[in-house]
Structure 1
Amino acid sequence: MIFSIDEVNRSQRLLPNLTLGFQMYDSCSAEARALQGTMWILSGQQDPVPNYQCQPGQLVPAIIGDSLSATCLLMARVLGIYRYPQISYSAVVPTLSDKAQFPSFFRTIPSGNEVAFCIARLVLHFGWTWVGVLELENDYGQQGSQIIKSELAKHGRCIAFAEVLPLVYSQEKILRIVQAIRQSSARIIVVICTESLLIQVMEEISRQGISGRVWVANHSWSSSRSFSRREFAVTLGGTIGVAIRRGEMTEFRDHLFRLQPFGSPSDPITMAFWEHAFRCQWKIQSEGNGTMARSSQVGKELPICTGYESTRSLEETILDVDNFRFTYNVYNSVYAIAQALHNLIHCTPGEGPFAQATCSLFRDLKPWQLFHYLKRVRFLNKDGEEVYFDQNGNPPPVFDILNWQLDAAGNVHYVKVGGFDLTAPKGKDFTINETAIVWHGGHQQVPRSVCSNSCVPGFRRAARTGAPLCCFDCVPCSPGEITNQTDSSECFKCPESHWSNRRQDQCVPKTLEFLSVYENLGATLCVVAIFGCLVTLLILSIFIRHRNTPIVKANNRFLSYILLLALLLCFLSSVGFLDKPHTLTCKFRQVAFGTVFTVCVACILAKTLTVVIVFNASKPGSKMRVWVGPKLPNSIAMACSLLQILLCSIWLTGSPPYPQVNLKFNTERILLECNEGSPTAFWLMLGYLGILACVSFLMAFLARKLPDSFNETKYITFSMLLFVAVWLSFIPAYLSTQGKYMVAVEVFAILASSLGLLSCIFFPKCFVILLRPQMNSKGFLLGRKTDATSMRINRNRN
């Protein structure tokens, strides 16, 4: 402050014809003394008289200080009544920005709200979600920590613990705080505290050997040399913090290096500093009319100060010429007042808060007049930075980001790694060089501080009961749901046409499912169907080749041909089920299957009736001889088939089957299937077929013991027994399966029943034709018991 005032007085530009002086009053950080000093300045004497200036001509137009927020609050409340300008270089409590309570208060240090906001942004930038907080037990600490907690909570961060640092030393409270730090899993600890009160806690932490934490410092101690001692190196190495911006002040650095106590023999401040810095004491000696100095350490055995000690040899803890931060604020405070005085003296007549006659009369200056110009002051200092106050009396919120780095000798160095300029446009107000940061233990990687590890894609966060939001469990998404981001709070359901992949971090199209010839099951059924077709064609060719033999001609040769052709179509109709459903195949595959099987069963029924009619007609005097012949069996087969064709035609006309995509069949697959259109028509078709089969089985069973050397009804009985058994088993199997297996069950029933009919009815005849030709004779078929009537009947049968 003394240097700045001297510099202003030497300036030819600023206040050229005026000399600034100063008075100093030490509040000793006591609120009562600060209030007493304020009243003393206002009244002009040690025994203050409120509202009176007891020493006319003595002008103190502004006050710089105090450093503590608590003392500034009292001073500003009194000074604001008189609009007496006050500039603090260190008080950050946000309450002082309230112009309704403190109208004449200014400061060259940003508000604590802005400091806290920058600390919160720093925590958010590094992705720390689990943070501990130490706050001072006053408005300064509590308001700052509240802003930090609010900002972190707004972005989903959590407070692991919040401990209050006592204003009055308490060993019990300090031990409790240290224990909370030790037990917490939080590795990031934000500290809103002053240097003097924090050092007691840090000493206890260092004594207990607690390390591995990253401390986030506020401006009060982020650049403090009190913590640069080696005993704190292990504990505080890697600390990162927000600091008020540093000024270069090259001339002041040179001034400190040139400082000599003999240059100002009446300066008690320099003398006291010299004793403290060099740990010596002045020898009391007379010089002229008085003494040069009086030792402040009388009675202590210390070396005598010579006055020629070099300030360049002092440690940084005593004289830190590379860290002008609060010093820079004092410098700007002095120049702000000087600039305001300069503007007042050089005011434009007719403007300002007072008459133009007093515009240049400095001796009549009132503090409230200076207050008017101080509010509007704006200038560039020697570092080229703009100095001004906003509407709340605060300076531009500009901060440095410091990282505490250790050298090889274990000494702490404060390295600037970024900064905040809240006056800059959004996106440019925060800069940081992460590669320049050295964290605890010398690591370059950003440390992690989480209550729970992040949930990878495919998992969602599930909150723990009674725990903070940041403490959660990672629960896998349900089938069909995904998360494609880290730490998702919920899973998202895939569209109906998609399904979650194995890792459940992506929706993939569902697999199309239908019974295909390109898979094992479909290929097997297709091979069986082709085999049945080939066997049927082989039997048909055998029958055609031996068409004039008795065993082929027996029991209506024409119906045998029709039955073989129908069985051939049955095998072919099953292939229509082994493909991707299309409109044509869906529409006709069930109809084709039902029609050709009806023809098969109708032919079998007609052949059974033929045997019964012929046997009864062979009895003497039977009236059934008129029914003997091919007309009745053929008519029965045709009538039964036409009835099924009529039923299927109504089905196709009214509600035909159609292909559909079944998304609800399976969660992982899309079923391509044929919707039968009318389930009633489908089951009526099967029911009619079942009735014909049952009638055929019943008649064949009753006629199985009719005397004949080759009674075909025996084989028809076996074939229909197999047929009925297959289709009775088909019904529950069909209803209990889904998807392609339902289709496979129907195809299997078609093939099994077709093969059953083919083998039971035609294999015995082929055996006789090919391997027992001697049995393929009229005499053998009639069993040598033929009479004229039976011969006639046999001719009619043929």
Structure 2
Amino acid sequence: MLILVMLALLVFSRVVGKVHVSQCAAVDSYPILRLYLQPGDVIIGAIISQTLFATSPKDFKCQSREMRLCQTQISITITYRDISKGFMPQNYQHILALAFAVKEINENPHILPNLTLGFHIYDSHLNPKLTYRAALQHISPRNRFVPNYRCHIQDNVQAVLEDINSDDSQIVQDLFSIYKIPQSDMVGNDYMKGYLKSFSELYEKMMGSTANIIIFKGQTRTFLNARGMIELAQIKYMVAKPKGKVWIVTVHMDLKTYHDKLSRDVQIFHGMISVSLHLNELQGFQDFFKSRKPSTAEGDLFLKDFWSYTFRCAFPDSVMGNVHQANCTGDETLKDLPAFEVSMTGHSYNIYNAVYAVAYALHAMHSSKVQAKMQGETRKLTIHQPWQLHHFLRCVSFNNSAGDQISFDHNGELIAGLDIINWVTFPNQSFVRVKVGKIHAQAPLQQALQLDEESMVWHPRFHQVRPVSLCSENCSPGYRMTKREGEPFCCYNCSQCPEGTISDHQDMPDCFQCSVGHFPHKDQKCCIPKMISFLSYEEPLGAGLILVALTLSLITLFVLGIFIKHHSTPIVKANNSKLTYTLLNSLLLCFLCALLFIGKPGKIMCLLRQTAFGIIFSIAVSSVLAKTITVIVAFMATKPGSRMRKWVGKRLSVSIVLSCCLIQVGICIIWLVKSPPFPDVDMHSMTEEVVLECNDASPTMFYCVLGYMGLLASVSFLVAFIARKLPDSFNEAKFITFSMLIFCTVWLSFVPAYLSIKGKYMVAVEIFSILASSAGLLGFIFFPKCFIIVLRPELNHRAQLIRKNQ
């Protein structure tokens, strides 16, 4: 990917007065031999690599084998002949992409009218020294090496495009920003030996690893060095030959065909995967490329080297080629080489777009100056500072000739997708790029990658089957990855998801809970919708409770009928028959009250459930209490001179029942006014069910109702226990004692059971408590009397009562 570096030339020193010729001439120990200059009113500079000059990337001092290069021009020429073996012909396309874009812009009357666009292109040789030298030339006069002087006003360099192949971006940026030259210690040959040994050990470890994937991060020079190191390691350290691996490289790297006896084997990279800037074929570019000839490309010193390499010939005055090759006639044509790659690459496409971006920014800047002049300001249109271009570059947005939109984000990064490239190599060391996918720039993350896996070509070792490079088996759904201590992040164990969580994809780093209304499947691979649950009439539990409640209600009605039929008998009249009828009616309502707890909860049902239960039970228990107190008061009133006789009668029993009931009614009214119960949905209590329930809204009020009822039952039990041995033939106290013991036991057991279960079973427990406690009162108080009335009528006489009292 070409990095568009808009390096505004911070300071152009203005020389006041006359500039002597000696000031614009300097001794140049590093003349630039490969360059391409095209004049213009506005100049774009470029640093592009076409030949490789190997040296240390960490300092600017000469290596021992390069010392001659630092002395004379003759030595430089010899050295360039040596390093011509590192020639990379593909990069000539980058130069043509720039020239093609400038040609189109100059022919377009709508971009930079009345101005011509030119360029200065210098070769950096993938070398930090020569990269720095090329950068200095951009701030020197044309064809002279005098940095920081402007001797020719026509050399109006506005922007510098830096080739992707350069690892020395920071060098160029530092120079054009603050003019500081980097300094570092010399790296000798004994460093290099240690580096080669370390690389050999690393390479042998990679080849011996069970991993099938090698991810290489770096830039072109690093990749070229790695290729050379592989060859040297095999020769010097006898490391194993390369195994078939899948190489995955970054966008900065590219396979290069260059004339070098080292690193000649490209087949180890067969099936390599890389990413490239998205491109479309530009109309006219291939014809422009194929029509290129040395005789028509004036000023292009790159072309002769490219021509010599491509046609295996030599020009008399060129540093490329050798004496054993035929002379180049210049009449050769690229059309005669149909297999030669002339299709535009992603790097060249980006150069083309970069030139257009600069041109549109320059056009916008000049248009603003024309408008300013029309408003009365006087400025020279062609004299301005390069830093002024930054503002216009940020706003550039246009469609290129291929139809792609070119624009930049807020960070100045190009908004563009990436193509996924599969590299296919051949025994003759050639290769082709195959586009197998795309990464969309602005698509959602899960939809960004588009890959045609069937078009992928793998290394022959994998027999065209997708390689797997894992140190762990895939974790199936229902499991999660857990890191292995001391091993790479990609090595992990698989652990079962914790209870209540799931994982629904392979290799999930963690499990998660189901959404509301769902619960985990037993294998914890997916979520299942919860079933709606409530105590309904249709299910066996609900139907059984209804049957019991109705049966007890019928029994109560039967007992009430017996007592009404025999209302004049002593056993009915002995213990306040009206209290007896009140108790029987309240028990009947208690049994029927249980039906309010069965069925789908509704608003009215929720309001009546607990309040009706509390009030009706309070009437029943207070009736029992009134019966017991009546027995005690009647016995005490029989003693001579007792003052209790005035309390004997109906007034006492009515007062007890009313006063006890009114307190419970008051509690229920406060509950209904303050926070009434309401229908609710319980999503969390049950694992597999959504429970429809009546929310009591205020647990405090519910336990107040229950506690008050328990208080009445406790007092009734205590009073009945005291009165159980009073001498009376029809004394109910002993039966009331047993009934209240059952009542208290049931409700004391209800509280922990109610708190320990969830869902519809809470309702079932409350219904059971209502039925059991009511049945206890009915059975222990009324069944003995019914037995006498129905089966032993001879005992139901006043004479029997008098005899027992005597």
For the residues of structure 2 that align with 1:727 and 1:697, how far apart are their CA atoms? 13
Q: Which residue of the other structure, out of 186, 189, 192, is the alignment partner of 2:211?
A: 186
1:96-151 residue CA offsets vs partner (Å, 9 max, x unmatched): 7774157799xxxxx998689xxxxxxxxxxxxxxxxxxxxxx79xx9xxxxxxxx
Mean CA deviation greater in 512-521 or 524-533: 512-521
For the residues of structure 1 that align with 2:697 and 2:451, how far apart are their CA atoms? 69
Equivalent position amino acid for 1:705 in 2: K
Query: CA contact under 8 A between 2:480 and 2:503: conserved in structure 1?
Result: yes
Equivalent position amino acid for 1:552 in 2: V
SS of corresponding position for 2:776: helix
Please list, as runs of the form range in 1=range in 2, the aligned pairs for 1:276-675 lying within 5 A after superposition.
337-341=294-298, 385=342, 401-403=422-424, 416=432, 418-419=434-435, 434-435=454-455, 437-441=457-461, 443-453=463-473, 468-472=488-492, 487=507, 512=532, 514-517=534-537, 522-618=542-638, 624=644, 627-662=647-682, 665=685, 672-675=692-695
**Inter-CA distance 34–493: structure 2 relative to 1 (3 Å threshold):** farther
Are 2:766 and 1:746 equivalent residues in the alignment?
A: yes
**Inter-CA distance 224–479: structure 2 relative to 1 (3 Å threshold):** farther
**Inter-CA distance 689–242: structure 2 relative to 1 (3 Å threshold):** closer
Q: Following TM superposition, by how much is the alpha carbon of 1:760 offset from its aligned partner in structure 2, in angstroms?
A: 0.7
Are 2:135 and 1:100 equivalent residues in the alignment?
A: yes
Are 2:713 and 1:693 equivalent residues in the alignment?
A: yes
Q: Following TM superposition, by how much is the alpha carbon of 1:719 offset from its aligned partner in structure 2, in angstroms?
A: 0.7
For the residues of structure 1 that align with 2:800 and 2:747, how far apart are their CA atoms? 36
**Inter-CA distance 66–484: structure 2 relative to 1 (3 Å threshold):** same
1:135 maps to none
2:366 maps to none
Q: Which residue of the other structure, out of 66, 69, 79, is the alignment partner of 2:84?
A: 66
Equivalent position amino acid for 2:212 in 1: R
Q: Following TM superposition, by how much is the alpha carbon of 1:769 offset from its aligned partner in structure 2, in angstroms?
A: 3.2
SS of corresponding position for 2:434: strand
Are 2:237 and 1:219 equivalent residues in the alignment?
A: no
Q: Following TM superposition, by how much is the alpha carbon of 1:722 offset from its aligned partner in structure 2, in angstroms?
A: 1.8
SS of corresponding position for 2:597: coil
1:56 maps to none
SS of corresponding position for 1:708: coil
**Inter-CA distance 225–638: structure 2 relative to 1 (3 Å threshold):** same
Mean CA deviation greater in 592-601 or 388-397: 388-397
1:77 maps to none
Q: Following TM superposition, by how much is the alpha carbon of 1:34 offset from its aligned partner in structure 2, in angstroms?
A: 8.8
**Inter-CA distance 742–395: structure 2 relative to 1 (3 Å threshold):** closer
For the residues of structure 2 that align with 1:420 and 1:482, how far apart are their CA atoms? 35
TM-score by length of 1: 0.54
For the residues of structure 1 that align with 2:706 and 2:692, how far apart are their CA atoms? 23
**Inter-CA distance 178–762: structure 2 relative to 1 (3 Å threshold):** same
Query: CA contact under 8 A between 1:187 and 1:213: conserved in structure 2?
Result: yes
Query: CA contact under 8 A between 1:419 and 1:431: conserved in structure 2?
Result: no
Percentage identity across aligned positions? 37
Please list, as runs of the form range in 1=range in 2, the aligned pairs for 1:224-243 lying within 5 A after superposition.
239-240=271-272
Query: CA contact under 8 A between 1:187 and 1:214: conserved in structure 2?
Result: yes
Q: Following TM superposition, by how much is the alpha carbon of 1:92 offset from its aligned partner in structure 2, in angstroms?
A: 5.8
For the residues of structure 1 that align with 2:128 and 2:761, how far apart are their CA atoms? 75
1:10-53 residue CA offsets vs partner (Å, 9 max, x unmatched): xxxxxxxxxxxxxxxxx99996499499934999xx9x9xxxxx
Q: Following TM superposition, by how much is the alpha carbon of 1:470 offset from its aligned partner in structure 2, in angstroms?
A: 3.7
For the residues of structure 2 that align with 1:535 and 1:721, how far apart are their CA atoms? 22
Q: Which has the larger radius of gyration?
A: 1
**Inter-CA distance 772–200: structure 2 relative to 1 (3 Å threshold):** farther
Q: Following TM superposition, by how much is the alpha carbon of 1:587 offset from its aligned partner in structure 2, in angstroms?
A: 1.6
1:261-302 residue CA offsets vs partner (Å, 9 max, x unmatched): xxxxxxxxxxxxxxxxxxxxxxxxxxxxxxxxxxxxxxxxxx
Q: Following TM superposition, by how much is the alpha carbon of 1:484 offset from its aligned partner in structure 2, in angstroms?
A: 5.4
Query: CA contact under 8 A between 1:617 and 1:624: conserved in structure 2?
Result: yes
Query: CA contact under 8 A between 1:655 and 1:677: conserved in structure 2?
Result: yes
Equivalent position amino acid for 2:295 in 1: A
1:670-690 residue CA offsets vs partner (Å, 9 max, x unmatched): 554434345554344333323
For the residues of structure 2 that align with 1:593 and 1:749, how far apart are their CA atoms? 11
Mean CA deviation greater in 711-720 or 186-195: 186-195
Query: CA contact under 8 A between 1:65 and 1:87: conserved in structure 2?
Result: no
SS of corresponding position for 1:418: strand
For the residues of structure 2 that align with 1:598 and 1:392, how far apart are their CA atoms? 90
Please list, as runs of the form range in 1=range in 2, the aligned pairs for 1:227-266 lying within 5 A after superposition.
239-240=271-272
Query: CA contact under 8 A between 2:483 and 2:491: conserved in structure 1?
Result: yes
Which segments of 5 or more consecutive residues in structure 2 lack a partner in the other structure? 1-52, 56-63, 89-118, 144-160, 172-189, 217-222, 277-285, 302-316, 320-332, 355-417
Please list, as runs of the form range in 1=range in 2, the aligned pairs for 1:10-159 lying within 5 A after superposition.
32=66, 35=69, 39-40=73-74, 66-68=84-86, 99-100=134-135
Query: CA contact under 8 A between 2:233 and 2:239: conserved in structure 1?
Result: no
Equivalent position amino acid for 1:704 in 2: R
Equivalent position amino acid for 2:424 in 1: N
Q: Following TM superposition, by how much is the alpha carbon of 1:750 offset from its aligned partner in structure 2, in angstroms?
A: 1.8
For the residues of structure 2 that align with 1:590 and 1:555, how far apart are their CA atoms? 31
Please list, as runs of the form range in 1=range in 2, the aligned pairs for 1:696-715 lying within 5 A after superposition.
696-715=716-735
Equivalent position amino acid for 1:583 in 2: K
For the residues of structure 2 that align with 1:413 and 1:447, how far apart are their CA atoms? 24
**Inter-CA distance 453–777: structure 2 relative to 1 (3 Å threshold):** same
CA RMSD after TM alignment: 6.0
Equivalent position amino acid for 2:434 in 1: G
Q: Following TM superposition, by how much is the alpha carbon of 1:196 offset from its aligned partner in structure 2, in angstroms?
A: 5.9
Query: CA contact under 8 A between 2:214 and 2:246: conserved in structure 1?
Result: yes
1:725 maps to 745
Mean CA deviation greater in 708-717 or 93-102: 93-102
Q: Following TM superposition, by how much is the alpha carbon of 1:340 offset from its aligned partner in structure 2, in angstroms?
A: 1.2
Query: CA contact under 8 A between 1:63 and 1:85: conserved in structure 2?
Result: no
For the residues of structure 1 that align with 2:452 and 2:72, how far apart are their CA atoms? 42
SS of corresponding position for 1:783: helix
2:780 maps to 760
Query: CA contact under 8 A between 2:750 and 2:766: conserved in structure 1?
Result: yes
